[in-house]
Amino acid sequence: MRVKVLSRNPDDYVRETKLDLQRVPRNYDPVLHPFEVPREYTRALNATKLERVFAKPFLSSLDGHRDGVNCMAKHPKSLSTVLSGACDGEVRIWNLTKRQGIRTLQAHEGFVRGMCTRFCGTSFFTVGDDKTVKQWKMESPAYGEEEEPIHTILGKTVYTGIDHHWKEAVFATCGQQVDIWDEQRISPMCSFTWGFDSISSVKFNPIETYLLGSCASDRNIVLYDMRQSTPLKKVILNMRTNTLCWNPMEAFIFTAANEDYNLYTFDMRFLSSPVMVHMDHVSAVLDVDYSPTGKEFVSASFDKSVRIFPVDKGHSREVYHTKRMQHVITVKWTSDSKYILCGSDEMNIRLWKANASEKLGVLAPREKAAMNYNQKLKEKFQHHPQIKRIARHRHLPKSIFCQIKEQRIMREARRQKELNRRKHSKPGSVPVVPEKKKHIVAVVQ
């Protein structure tokens, strides 16, 4: 009789070092592991609950300004540095790891209207109510030196915004017109005007760097081409756009923050209707900034909240608020796409996690695997009512909550009225206007 002897390769079960994990052979026979769906459902439910339990996005608040924070700028090379300008003309540079201000300078008389950093990170520019554009060194002055700007440009009118070119020594300001400046000169290289109204913000396209977008208070958004020194097109919306932001991963996409509580994502090639209307805020949206991954953006609103929207979704995935946070004027998404900074009226800059329940710090591989698995489960079972209910649940302050309810009622009433009107008039005389088209007044060549 032949006796079959078990023979195994020791490599399959012997550890090389004692620090290695023990290999646990598993039998994946589905018969041995029944009830896949219910078990995974339970896991998904637990993961969702845990996500909500651990959703503590607020990290810290940077206080030190003596007036409302009006503008912020990211450092292009250093993640831990952020700059902020206040309504009293003070500019502060912060160290985020220490959560301290590392430098303070009185940049302007009156508001600091806008600020931007140079692409190399060695200096930054500010514009203020005192009709000046100032360039500052990023480093603090040596002992005994006075805090002085490198350059000061005195303009004729108030500049309301500034942005720096992403690759060249060129910057753009806006006020009564959009000016393109060479850093070496004290007069603009060229100025764009189209109509006569104050322009509130100008932004360079980060990918196609010769493109600019601006928004004016006569409700329009204008695009410019720096090479051809001409405006390209103008789209007029129902209400004024406060600012816009280009998508850093998609050259032709930008998002505009509007006074009518909505944000509009446009494809610059097809301006007649926005790609997506993002609604959720209940007051004017004051600032918007894209995540560097280009998949999401964050918006700051007058309704004292910050919301995060996926680019391709009409509604926000997250809302951040605290009791003490007043009207949020400016918001930035850090360049590692992990944090969000918002500056608000009550003189504070707040640091939030971009992903509310994310665990900070180094994760063990197993932890990471578990996290990924949980994420996948949540995604898989997201349509199930219980999970959806838990995942969607957010606490809101009463004011916002009530306003949302009110808005809903108003919207419903408007819709009903339109329905009624359509019902009682000649067929075709009251056309159905899609939501995307509703907010566009005209596109001007």
Q: Which residues form the interface with another protein (CB under 8 A)?
A: 1-3, 9, 11, 16, 20, 28, 30, 33, 36-37, 39-41, 43, 76-77, 79, 166, 206-208, 211, 223, 225, 228, 230-233, 248-253, 268-269, 292-295, 335-338, 360, 365, 368-369, 372-373, 375-377, 380-381, 383-386, 445
Residue 217 CB, shortest distance to another protein, in Å, is 21
Say which DSSP state 229 is in: T
Nearer to another protein, 40 or 67 (CB): 40
Nearer to another protein, 58 or 119 (CB): 119
Residue 175: closest CA among 159, 154, 164: 159
Say which DSSP state 23 is in: P
Report the C-alpha gap between 313 and 309 in whole angstroms.
Answer: 7
Helices 36-54 + 365-380 axis angle, to 10: 110
Outline where DSSP puts E strands in 108-160. Answer: 112-117, 123-128, 132-137, 151-154
- Dihedral of the CA atoms 127, 130, 134, 137 (nearest 10)? -90
Residue 14 CB, shortest distance to another protein, in Å, is 11
Nearer to another protein, 86 or 202 (CB): 202
Report the C-alpha gap between 151 and 403 in whole angstroms.
Answer: 47
Residue 334 CB, shortest distance to another protein, in Å, is 9
User: Computed from CA positions of residues 90, 96, 97, 100, in that sequence, does the dihedral angle turn out positive or negative?
Assistant: positive
Residue 65 CB, shortest distance to another protein, in Å, is 26
Question: Is residue 70 within 8 Å of 92, Cβ to Cβ?
Answer: no
* Cβ atoms within 10 Å, residue 206: 19
Residue 6 CB, shortest distance to another protein, in Å, is 15
* Cβ atoms within 10 Å, residue 186: 12
Nearer to another protein, 313 or 421 (CB): 313
Residue 52 CB, shortest distance to another protein, in Å, is 17
Nearer to another protein, 58 or 373 (CB): 373
Residue 211 CB, shortest distance to another protein, in Å, is 7
Nearer to another protein, 209 or 322 (CB): 209
Strand partners, 73: 83
Nearer to another protein, 250 or 345 (CB): 250
Nearer to another protein, 188 or 231 (CB): 231
DSSP H or E run through 419 = helix 398-423
Identity at 101, one-letter amino acid code: G
Nearer to another protein, 108 or 118 (CB): 118
Nearer to another protein, 14 or 154 (CB): 14
- Quick check: helix, strand or coil at residue 300? strand
Reduced DSSP (H G I as helix, E B as strand, rest coil) percent helix, strand, coil of the chain, to 5: 20, 35, 45
CB proximity list for 165: less than 8 A, separation 6 or greater: 119, 171, 172, 204, 209
Residue 403 CB, shortest distance to another protein, in Å, is 28
Residue 420 CB, shortest distance to another protein, in Å, is 28
Outline where DSSP puts E strands in 129-210. Answer: 132-137, 151-154, 161-164, 170-174, 178-182, 190-192, 199-204
Residue 344 CB, shortest distance to another protein, in Å, is 25
Show the tokens assigned to 135. 């360039």
